[in-house]
């Protein structure tokens, strides 16, 4: 009993110590400060971080109080941490779809803890978890928020809503195995889909993820068009919004994208075959596009190696010629383009490679950087908390060499990261 009590006291003390780390000011000497993508580099500065937030920003190097923790980044560029609106931290890449039968949801937390660190070290201080097995992402979210494990702030969807046997539900096994593996989030009809939204909300979802159309990596050769009916998608969007939640929809086919936007979905993920008509509807409804170009780069690297089943290989080849074209059209038509990668489909930590793919697709470096900071923050309704360096904002900071507004690839090598005032190392 005494021993147990001793452990409890020790645990209490360690919590108290890690809590008191925030009592000390952190003073950061910055070589070249970028407040946000719009304003650009402004030279040397001093940032004072207090209780996980940016308390002061001063030009040049100002003196530190005696008890402050000094962080010398005077040879580095410092800007707000990057935001990835589409990751799957709880999974690693691979085509072995049968692994669903052998790996429990709890394993996702372990994989996720590893990937949370890798992702934060790559400069991503906030990520949106776009679908995980059961509630593994919710435990991860708590782990990084409480500082139990190092990683980014996590906005988590939990399991995705799908049609029965559609992309995001189970398929490719015998019927009895499909039944055993189902997440409990497949739905049919407006009423049942509304119920699943409420169930996800009750379980702790920050956002509702749906698979609005067929997908590339599921074991079906039925095309990439709409899977939910209009009534089902409207019900999902209305119910989610009534709970204060946004909806992100995986969507490839043009008519499926158009239908999702009309139904009130907030962001279209992938948007691969978005045509002029679909993009005009998105523009009219204020729907943003999350292109996830890295997903296609990642899977294309695995083609012809026996990683994917034949039906999946064919779908990958079908999409590759079109990838990126919708981004240029979206820009021309004024559709907001926000940063998201689908990390987990490719190796976590390569997220920043998406920036150059966006530039190749027609964005300026400044637009690409804004998409991963201020615009992504806005898509999360967190534009007053993250996405720029300003007083009162969360101390989510990254340091590196060079100017990403000239060359976005400098963000592929990040030297130092802070999330909510905690240094990631």
Nearer to Zn ion, 267 or 329 (CB): 267
User: Is residue 342 a contact residue for Zn ion (CB under 5 A)?
Assistant: yes
Phi and psi torsions of 8, nearest 5° = -65, -40
Whether residue 374 contacts residue 39, with contact meaning beta carbons closer than 8 Å, is answered with: no
Least distance to Zn ion, CB of residue 130, Å: 5
Q: Per CB under 5 A, which region of 20-28, 45-53, 127-135, 257-265 contacts Zn ion?
A: 127-135
Q: Per CB under 5 A, which region of 58-66, 140-148, 329-337, 338-346 contacts Zn ion?
A: 338-346
Q: Binding marks (x or -) toward Zn ion, 84..123, rule CB under 5 A?
A: ----------------------------------------
Least distance to Zn ion, CB of residue 297, Å: 14
Unique residue bearing structure tokens 């005032």:
421
Tell me, by CB under 5 A, how many residues bind Zn ion.
2
Alpha carbon distances (Å) from 93 to 84, 132, 295:
17, 13, 10
Q: Select the residue whose beta carbon is closest to Zn ion and give its number.
A: 342
Residue 269: both structure tokens together: 């993920």
Q: Per CB under 5 A, which region of 39-47, 110-118, 124-132, 367-375 contacts Zn ion?
A: 124-132
> How many CB atoms lie under 10 A from the CB of residue 304?
9
Least distance to Zn ion, CB of residue 277, Å: 25
Whether residue 349 contacts residue 303, with contact meaning beta carbons closer than 8 Å, is answered with: no
Q: Per CB under 5 A, which region of 147-155, 255-263, 313-321, 336-344 contacts Zn ion?
A: 336-344
Nearer to Zn ion, 90 or 356 (CB): 90
Nearer to Zn ion, 26 or 319 (CB): 319
User: Is residue 130 a contact residue for Zn ion (CB under 5 A)?
Assistant: yes
3-state secondary structure of 304: coil
Alpha carbon distances (Å) from 159 to 186, 187, 301, 308:
10, 12, 27, 23
| CA 115, chain centre distance (Å) | 12
Least distance to Zn ion, CB of residue 210, Å: 12
- Could you say which DSSP state residue 281 is in? H
User: How far apart (Å, rounded) are the C-alpha atoms in residues 263 and 84?
Assistant: 24
Q: Per CB under 5 A, which region of 61-69, 215-223, 340-348, 416-424 contacts Zn ion?
A: 340-348
Least distance to Zn ion, CB of residue 146, Å: 26
Please name every residue paired with 100 in a beta bridge, in sequence order, or none if there are none.
none
- For the chain, the straight-line distance linking the first and the last C-alpha, in angstroms and rounded, comes to 36
Sites of contact with Zn ion (CB under 5 A): 130, 342
């Amino acid at each position: 009993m005494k021993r147990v009590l001793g452990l409890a006291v020790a645990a209490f003390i360690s919590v108290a110590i890690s809590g008191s780390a925030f009592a000390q000011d952190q003073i950061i000497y910055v070589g070249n400060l970028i407040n946000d993508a719009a304003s650009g580099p402004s030279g040397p500065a001093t940032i004072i971080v207090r209780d996980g937030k940016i308390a002061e920003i001063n030009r040049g190097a100002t003196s530190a109080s005696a008890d402050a923790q000094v962080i010398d980044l005077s040879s580095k560029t410092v800007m707000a941490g990057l935001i990835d609106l589409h990751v799957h931290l709880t999974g690693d890449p691979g085509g072995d779809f049968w692994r669903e039968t052998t790996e429990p949801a709890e394993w996702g937390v372990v994989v996720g803890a590893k990937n949370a660190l890798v992702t934060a070290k790559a400069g991503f201080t906030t990520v949106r978890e776009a679908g995980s097995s059961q509630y593994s992402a919710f435990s991860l979210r708590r782990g990084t928020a409480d500082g139990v494990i190092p990683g980014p702030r996590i906005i988590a969807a939990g399991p995705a809503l799908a049609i029965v046997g559609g992309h995001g539900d189970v398929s490719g096994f015998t019927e009895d195995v499909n039944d055993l593996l189902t997440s409990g989030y497949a739905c049919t009809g407006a009423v049942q889909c509304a119920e699943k939204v409420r169930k996800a909300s009750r379980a702790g979802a920050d956002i509702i993820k749906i698979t609005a159309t067929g997908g590339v990596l599921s074991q079906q050769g039925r095309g990439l068009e709409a899977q939910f009916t209009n009534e089902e998608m409207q019900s999902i969007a209305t119910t989610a919004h009534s709970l204060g939640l946004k909806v992100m929809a995986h969507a490839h086919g043009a008519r499926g994208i158009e239908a999702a936007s009309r139904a009130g979905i907030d962001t279209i993920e992938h948007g691969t075959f978005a045509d002029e008509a679909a993009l005009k509807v998105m523009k009219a409804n204020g729907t943003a596009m999350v292109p996830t170009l890295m997903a296609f780069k990642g899977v294309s690297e695995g083609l012809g190696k026996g990683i994917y089943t034949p039906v999946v290989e064919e779908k990958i080849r079908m999409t590759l010629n079109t990838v990126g074209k919708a981004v240029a059209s979206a820009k021309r038509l004024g559709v907001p383009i926000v940063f998201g990668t689908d990390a987990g489909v490719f190796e976590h930590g390569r997220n920043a490679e998406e920036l150059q793919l966006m530039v190749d697709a027609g964005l300026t470096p400044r637009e690409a950087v804004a998409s991963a900071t201020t615009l992504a923050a806005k898509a999360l309704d967190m534009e007053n908390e993250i996405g720029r360096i300003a007083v009162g904002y969360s101390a989510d900071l990254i340091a590196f060499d060079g100017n990403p507004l000239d060359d976005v690839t400098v963000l592929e090598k990040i030297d130092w990261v802070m999330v909510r005032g905690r240094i990631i190392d």
